[in-house]
Amino acid sequence: MIAAAMPKTPQSARHGDALKLHRDCGFGEVSISPHQPQSLANPPIVRTGTALAIKYLTSGVAALFPSSTGRGGARNRADRESHALTVAQIANLKAAERHAEKIGLPFTRMISIHWQAAGLPLAGMAKATGRFTDLMAKALARHGSGTAWLWVHENVPGNSHDKGGHCHLLAHVPADLVSRLTALQRGWLRRITGQPYQARVIHSKPIGGRLGLEAGNPDLHAVNLEVALAYVLKGASPEAASQFGLERLEAGGCIIGKRCGTSQNIGAKARKAKD
């Protein structure tokens, strides 16, 4: 795997107090530091490995699960294998993130799900992720909230607790609904897998380290979201990394079926219709 420097800090976030990295962050969150007069012209290198975002147990037990609703993303063959994010996929994910902000549904939460630890085979991840996002959207809708999301699958070979097939999901979850949503997540996983919840299968945290950052400090939230998106895109192909200037790269592994996706409201058709 290749360790690379963090994305450059946007100009809009460099004014005033300096930015520093949280020591306990999962994917390189930044915070305002009143004690550092200098800006980070050369951000520190972030540690590599899936363990930065998820540290879960793994198992290889196959499970049954309901079918996906098929929402979001390109429609790939269910048995298609891929080993990296392509130029087209990354372009779509980046455009989707910008559109989520444009329609007032900025990504506020990073959710990582270790599907292998939950007992799903590699070929079952796409359906499971689709089912999870469907349940999330319906739960938020019941409380009068819309949402938007994007996700990427990775598969790091190995037997340790941070390996295997997993999903990184960036989603819009209003701060006042986070506690209700997180209380439901383990139940969703039991419904999807048909098995008891396994410890450390899901990890969820606000982008930027605290709730409501997108409203309280939009510039700082934008910086943290940039870092989170770079983490999610780290499985890019060399061609895609070169084209988009991605500096942090790690092998994304072999994925069966869809490697990434977005909610329909920020997908290519929605963006075209809005424009």
Determine the pLDDT at residue 24: 40
pLDDT tens-place string over residues 98-131: 999 999 999 999 999 999 999 999 999 999 999 9
Q: Do residues 107 and 100 touch, judged by C-beta distance below 8 A?
A: yes
Neighbours of 160 (CB within 10 A): 13
Q: Does residue 9 surpass a pLDDT of 50?
A: no
**DSSP string of 169-220, one letter each residue:** EEE---GGGHHHHHHHHHHHHHHHHSSPPPTTSEEEEETTSSTTHHHH-HHH
Is residue 25's pLDDT more than 70? Answer: no
Cα torsion for 199, 202, 206, 209, to the nearest 10°? 40
- Helix or strand (DSSP H, E) at 79: none
Better-scored residue on pLDDT, 145 or 18: 145
pLDDT, mean of residues 154-173 = 84
Please report the pLDDT score of residue 64 as a whole number.
Answer: 31
Q: Is the pLDDT of residue 29 over 90?
A: no
Residue 110, φ and ψ in degrees, nearest 5: -110, 125
Give phi and psi for 204, each to the nearest 5: -135, 135
Looking at residue 160, what DSSP letter applies? S
pLDDT at residue number 156: 86
pLDDT at 93 > cutoff 90: yes
Instruction: Assess whether pLDDT exceeds 60 at residue 3.
Output: no
Cα 133 to Cα 188: distance, rounded to the nearest angstrom: 10
Nearest to 8 by CA among 24, 19, 17, 23: 19
Question: Does 4 score more than 90 pLDDT?
Answer: no
- How confident is the model at residue 162, as a pLDDT? 60
Q: What is the mean pLDDT of residues 232-255?
A: 94
- Residue 197: is its pLDDT beyond 60? yes
Q: What is the pTM of this model?
A: 0.74
State the average pLDDT for the chain: 78
Summarize the confidence of residues 9-28 as an average pLDDT.
Answer: 41
3-state secondary structure of 52: helix
Residue range 30-54, pLDDT digits in tens: 554 433 333 333 333 333 333 333 3
Of 19-23, 132-136, 223-227, minimum mean pLDDT range: 19-23
Task: Evaluate if residue 13 carries a pLDDT over 90.
Answer: no
pLDDT grade for 199, boundaries at 50, 70 and 90: confident
Residue range 65-92: mean pLDDT, rounded: 69
Please compute the mean of the pLDDT values over residues 180-198 and round it to a whole number: 94
| Gap between the Cα atoms of 75 and 95, Å rounded | 18
User: What pLDDT score was predicted for residue 192?
Assistant: 96
Give the C-alpha separation, 200 to 118, whole Å: 9
pLDDT for 249 equals: 92
Q: Give the Å distances, CA to CA, from 180 to 142, 176, 229, 233, 268.
A: 11, 8, 25, 29, 30
Integer Cα distance of 71 and 147 in angstroms: 13
User: Where do the DSSP E strands lie in 50-163?
Assistant: 81-82, 109-113, 149-156
